[in-house]
A and B are shown apart, each in its own frame.
Chain A
């Protein structure tokens, strides 16, 4: 009995380790590739040990001006986050506190459809809209476009948080003469800091990772890091090392964020279906 128990335990551990290695392998492979020279990348079988080089990072971010795209990505993701989190929290508060206003259920559903709309559906109208307004290839147009997708995440996630905050305190403060806004800013918001952090990080991750829309509505000025990746497909073949270096830089912030919000990540990605 004891013997079969420990065998079972061993087998489960083995399975867990195999699964986790399968998940990690491609990521580690990419990180290794970014430190390899062109010759090492093409070597078969892949060498276990090689002399790591920073060449790929230096060529792209110092030599080729990818620093600018990195900056663009940061600006766009940060402003998308601020815009979506601030306006989204207000809307979520309305959905949470003013139950039963005209068609609130329909609006709430309507907001979900924005998050689920395929990006490819929106690229034609965005291309058309931003060129007409003279905003093609500007930071503002990318920020606004990304907000379409980030806003629903914030509204859904924040509504769940506000629902969890008891109304008694708020009601008491209002009886004492506080306005709705001062109750919201002084009582409700400080109680939902973790929710706001989670929404902000999820918005940031979305905007930071987004590829198709940025590719269509930017050219040089507001190009983001993901949109710049296609530039590595050259007539001399694909520049794998440099592409890997840029990919690793795209990966760094999101991997850091996992540790901060792992509890809320799933909740945000499932619209609160998983608590």
Chain B
């Protein structure tokens, strides 16, 4: 008994048992379902093996392409803005001021609030009839007969604003921890040499915080790619398909059209992308060690 305790497997067993039950078995269920025709609407009809039909669908379905495109547009709007504003705020919050610790703590609030609740708050504020944001926009003469979330041309941008509200503090805090850990010497040397603020920022600060910047970028990319709750509560993927990102698309195919076969194929594809993104993140983490 004593000897076996020194082996890693004993320690890993409980976790692996759990992960096999809730992580590996589901993966095989997905694989199995993605090769069959399975409509929950007609549970009596037996599931049939259909080969690669669902995957063929996946490749040639313009609807899924649209959802992917919407997702990347969403990430393309939210992510650069979060990085830029986050960097700016990190520089601002890195100054030693009275009460700055309290302000930094307040910045943590959006991170821990349930995404669902975030969605609810902004849904109410965007409400075309009585939302405070719409009210302010109306008084500026904008969106007079609609609201930012029910106008198809601005709906995606509106949910991106919610994402920016929620996640910019996260980016900011990651970069801030990088800035606070910077060594003092190169900055003093540069100041003595008469370098301007912009030069110091561009040539010293930015290269030195490359690591936190990359971490923030990748983590945000992964999270933004799988966004569901907020968009689901605010627009439900509408108006039309304007905010139908790939998570919502997948959900609607599986639980609105009840086409679990095709839904599983899309899910497998999403998992594949997730693994690629994780691999990139893991490489960067290891490099830093």
Q: Point out residues on A near B: beta carbons under 8 Å.
A: 12-13, 15-16, 19-20, 22-24, 26-27, 29-30, 33, 41-46, 83, 86-88, 90-91, 93-94, 98, 101, 104, 107, 109, 111-114, 116-126, 128-129, 144-145, 147-148, 151, 155, 179-181, 205, 208-209, 211-212, 216, 226, 229, 240, 243-244, 247, 250-251, 254-255, 257-259, 262, 265-266, 269-275
Contacts and interface: CB of A to CB of B under 8 A. Distances in A.
Contacts of A119: 226, 228, 247
Nearest to B99: A16
Interface in B236-280: 247-248, 250-251, 254-255, 260, 263-264, 267-268, 270-271, 274-275, 277-279
B224 to A, nearest CB: 11
B2 to A, nearest CB: 5
B141 interface: no
Give chain B's interface residue range (CB within 8 Å of chain A).
35 or more
B117 A121 contact: no
Nearest to A155: B15
B116 interface: yes
B130 A42 contact: yes
B206 interface: no
B124 interface: yes
Contact of A111 (B19, B95, B226, B229): B19
A270 B215 contact: yes
23 contacts: A12-B95, A16-B100, A19-B92, A20-B106, A22-B165, A23-B107, A87-B15, A104-B8, A107-B12, A109-B278, A109-B279, A112-B278, A113-B278, A116-B222, A121-B274, A122-B26, A125-B29, A148-B23, A211-B115, A211-B229, A250-B114, A262-B108, A265-B111
B174 A148 contact: no
B122 interface: yes
B22 A144 contact: yes
Contact of B18 (A144, A229, A272): A144
Top 3 nearest A-B pairs (CB, nearest first) are: A125-B26, A118-B226, A209-B114
Contact of B25 (A33, A125, A229): A125
Contacts of B199: none
Interface in B1-28: 2, 5-8, 11-12, 14-16, 18-19, 21-23, 25-27
B14 A91 contact: yes
Contact of A148 (B6, B22, B212, B226): B22
A271 B130 contact: no
B274 A255 contact: no
A124 B267 contact: yes
Contacts of A98: 7-8, 11
A87 B271 CA distance: 25
B140 interface: no
Contact of B116 (A113, A128, A209): A209
A102 to B, nearest CB: 9
A128 B115 CA distance: 25
A117 to B, nearest CB: 6
A229 B107 CA distance: 26
Given A114-B23, A247-B120, A251-B113, A128 B6 contact: no
B177 A275 contact: yes
A112 B222 CA distance: 12
B18 A151 contact: yes
Given A83-B18, A109-B278, A124-B30, A254 B89 contact: no
B125 interface: yes
A128 B43 CA distance: 12
B237 to A, nearest CB: 12
B109 A23 contact: yes
B30 A121 contact: yes
Contact of B19 (A20, A30, A148): A148
Contacts of A216: 255
B130 to A, nearest CB: 5
A27 B33 contact: no
Contacts of A144: 18, 21-22
A128 B38 CA distance: 11
A271 B118 CA distance: 23
B97 A23 contact: no
Contacts of B121: 26-27, 29-30, 247
B112 interface: yes
A209 B92 CA distance: 31
Contacts of B170: 266, 269
Most chain B Cβ neighbours within 10 Å, of A209, A211, A269, A274 = A274
B15 A151 contact: yes
Nearest to A266: B173
A179 B2 CA distance: 6
A192 B40 CA distance: 48
Contacts of A128: 29, 33, 260
B112 A257 contact: yes
B251 A120 contact: yes
A242 B226 CA distance: 29
Contacts of A107: 12
